[in-house]
Amino acid sequence: MGSIIGTMGCSSSVADRRSENVIRAAILIQKWYRFTMARLEMRRRYSLSIFQSIEYADEQDQLQLSNFFTFMLDHCNHPDSVSQIFTSPGAPQVVDEDLCLKEFEKKIDVPDSYSGPRLSFPLTVEDANALLHAFRNEQLLHARYVLQLLSETRRVLKEMPNITHLSTSYSKDITVCGDLHGNLDDLLLIFYKNGLPSEQNRYVFNGDFVDRGKNSMEIVIILFAFLLIYPNDLHLNRGNHEDYIMNLRYGFTKEVSKKYKDHWKQILCLLRDVFSWLPLATIIDSKVLILHGGISDTTDLDFLNALERNKLKSLMRPPKSVRDRQDQTKKRIPTSKPSKHIANQHVAGKTQHISSSGLTEPSGSNSPPDPALKEWKQILDILWSDPRSQNGCTPNKSRGGGCYFGPDVTAKLFKRYNLKMLIRSHEFKPEGYEISHDGKVITIFSASNYYEEGSNRGAYIKLNPELTPRFVQYQVSKLTRRQNLRERVGTIESSALKSLREKIYAHRSELTSAFAQYDVNGTGRISVNDWAAAMESVLQLELPWRMLRSQLAQMNPDGEVDFMSCFYDLKMDQPIKEAQPALAETLCRYRKDLEIIFNIIDKDHSGLISLEEFSQTWRLFTSHLGIDVQDDSIDKLVLSIDYNKDGHIDFNEFLEAFHVVHRLEKKATS
């Protein structure tokens, strides 16, 4: 009996030890899992921060470029080659206001070989379904039908108010979608999950239908088709990318020109007019305000509802009074290089007033108010602004346009107009939506995989008659289905760091000078703090540089950063020996801007411009931005690439020589 008890006691102690070991192992696994997940989440977050910071910096470059367009018009010897940016780019009779649908049929033939949808007006649900089927199968809609559709869309939009008022009493829910940015798969997934637009299934699409993605044209065609079929049930707000100058930079113009080689100018001209007629905002049950960007401390909904919205074809070209003021500021304030931020124009000894939209005005100005300026600023604020948790209304330094508005600004507007909720888009959100200002402001972003495959979810909002929002999230899955979490984060991180390294290389000279200021003894090494400070002072991306150091630069055993190692794995592809290092870096940095400018000058879309046009444009560009590059260096470079000596160069081929190559990637793929 005693032996039995002893055996049982031994078994019990063994079981207890095993149980303790299991618990310890479980705790260790749990700690490891939490640590691993925390590190992955940290990598994901800083990768998304890199993407967003570079995106906003690019928007600042676009604002700067739009100022150059105006400067170019004033100084170019051949203004006709540039004026098409601001005037109809061709064939005015094709986009005439009075042109009827029948005349399009006479002017543009549809060949028998065309196998896509054949539209007849007024459109029906069957037509919309045919479009959806065709676009799923990567078919194009013929140019004749595109022009007819756009013409009819303009006619309908012209009858609509600046601010659309809706009521939930006519249906159970209203669905609100945010930015789509040319991602057709997201739109198709929304329709699959939520149903097609109809009288019983109403939608509000809150701007930024186009740019960045490859199917912007298909998205606007689908949205405009449903607008014509259900004008009281599908509603569209204008976004900051429904702007023809923005489209030059972010891909929509190029997409249209490639898909519609014979009629792209007419289509773009008509689209520019259609975009200007899009309503500015939507209000549901007099309580929920829906607009693309945000508000400012001067937002006046009554004023916005009364102005002529179609006069502002592009917010990138401010009224003449603003341009004159900017020119006066430039003359009064000499600078060695252009300011990074529109809102950061500050010089010691000068007192300036900076408006909430980032406009710099001299203090004590007694100039009378300009109505065009007020209209421009009001629309700029609602299309470009972002919410912030801090009270107040300050210039949006990240984007370079619009403002940051705090909870107090939201509360003030709500009290004035008896509102309870603001739904806006305009801003990437990892989960597809975000709630701020104590639940009063909702950001909705509907483009999934925006920066990279797996980078984010998209979402839309369902508003019921009680105006209670319900969020529906989704993510278009292709590669991500076959990747685990670590692989997805690695893909996002790799792409983000690649973009950041290219930006670092494009500012190599400035960064080297900034590093040298901290390297007093010329050792080539500086502290991590000094390295981070130098990176931020030049790039101004507001990134966690200390955290990113291990990915960007090497550190010696003493804990100091070898600052030139930032550039070790990067080089210029196909270096042209005639290009001096400073010139090559400048061309690399402004390659995207120059490509846009040269494409505008290239009237016949041949990819060729004359040496004279190239040199003159380059001199105007460097003069406007304050870039110090010797004229003879660019002249020698241009002559060296005129291979057949016919006085023309292929500018796309030329600019391609000045992009950054990642040496390690090149070795891996070779």
Report, as residue numbers or ranges, the catalytic residues: 241
CA distances from 430 to 63, 212, 644 (A): 26, 17, 51
CA distances from 385 to 83, 163, 322, 395, 656 (A): 29, 18, 19, 9, 34
Measured in degrees and rounded to the nearest 5, phi and psi for residue 398 equal -65, -45
Q: How many helices (H) and strands (E) does the chain have?
A: 24, 23
Using an 8 Å Cβ cutoff, are 472 and 206 in contact?
A: no
Alpha-carbon gap, residue 129 to 121, rounded angstroms? 15
Alpha-carbon gap, residue 72 to 68, rounded angstroms? 6
- β-strands 570-572, 608-610: how paired? unpaired
Alpha-carbon gap, residue 618 to 594, rounded angstroms? 8
Measured in degrees and rounded to the nearest 5, phi and psi for residue 174 equal -125, 130
Structure-token match 């920066």, residue found: 451
- Rg from Cα positions in the chain: 28
Provide the β-strand partners of residue 570.
Answer: 662
DSSP for residue 641? T
Alpha-carbon gap, residue 201 to 233, rounded angstroms? 7
Alpha-carbon gap, residue 231 to 204, rounded angstroms? 11
Using an 8 Å Cβ cutoff, are 474 and 193 in contact?
A: yes
Using an 8 Å Cβ cutoff, are 332 and 351 in contact?
A: no
DSSP for residue 440? T
| CA nearest neighbour of 260 among 110, 143, 144, 148 | 143
Alpha-carbon gap, residue 309 to 307, rounded angstroms? 6
| Sign, CA torsion 108/228/424/132 | negative
Strand order across the beta sheet in which 386-387 lies: 386-387, 403-405, 393-395
3-state DSSP call for residue 452? coil
Alpha-carbon gap, residue 627 to 624, rounded angstroms? 8
Number of C-beta neighbours around residue 227 at 10 A: 25
Using an 8 Å Cβ cutoff, are 154 and 420 in contact?
A: no
Number of residues written out for the chain: 670
CA distances from 82 to 144, 602, 627, 650 (A): 28, 9, 22, 18
Provide the β-strand partners of residue 205.
Answer: 177, 236
Structure-token match 């009288």, residue found: 199
CA distances from 216 to 131, 219, 523, 593 (A): 14, 5, 52, 21
Q: At 167, list the tokens.
A: 């009521």
Alpha-carbon gap, residue 327 to 330, rounded angstroms? 5
